[in-house]
Structure 1
C-alpha cells in the first residue's frame, strides 16, 4: 500500500518564500552592474550618458563612439564610454 502525499497551498507558499530567500542571497554576489561589465547595450549607454537614441546614433555616425553589432543588437565597450566622457570634460 502506498501513501499519498498532499501538497497544500501553505506548503507551496513556504517553498516560494524559501526559494526567493535563497535566490536573494545568491544574486547580489553574482549580479553585475553596467559599470563593471565590458560590453553595454544601447539602452544602458543612453541611460548612463542621459542621451536620446538619435544622439547615440550621431555619436556612432561621427566615429566618436565605437560599437559592435551582433544581429540587431548594438554593443559598446564600457571603456569607450569612459573615454568619451573624459575627452569631453570642460
Structure 2
C-alpha cells in the first residue's frame, strides 16, 4: 500500500515548523536580553566621551592605563578602565 503526502499534510507540517521556529526565536531573544551590556567601546566613541585626540587615546593605550583589543584594524577599549580614569586622583 502506498502512502501519499497531501496538500493538507504539507500545510500541517508547515504550521508545526513555523511554531517551532517561533519558539526558538523567542528563546534566543530572551537569552540576548539577559546578557550583560557590551564592555568594549570603539575608539571614536571613547575620543568623543573623553573629548581627547587620537594621539591622547593612543598614549593611554601605550602607557597601559586602559585595556584594549584590536579587531580587524579597529581598537576597542574597556569601558570599566575608561570610567576608572575619572576616579583616579
TM-score range, shorter chain: 0.5 to 0.7
Name the SS for the 1:74 alignment partner: strand
Aligned equivalent of 2:84: 83
Unaligned runs of 5+ in 1: 1-35
Aligned equivalent of 1:69: 70
- TM-score normalised by L of structure 2: 0.55
Aligned equivalent of 1:42: 43
Unaligned runs of 5+ in 2: 1-36
Larger radius of gyration: 2
1:37 Cα shift? Answer: 3.8
Aligned equivalent of 1:58: 59
- TM-score normalised by L of structure 1: 0.54
1:85 Cα shift? Answer: 1.6
Report runs of 4+ in structure 1 exceeding 4 Å deviation. Answer: none
Find the aligned partners of 1:59 and 1:41 in 2 and give their Cα distance. 14
Q: How many aligned positions are there?
A: 53
Find the aligned partners of 1:60 and 1:77 in 2 and give their Cα distance. 11
Alpha carbons 2:40, 2:77 under 8 Å: kept: yes
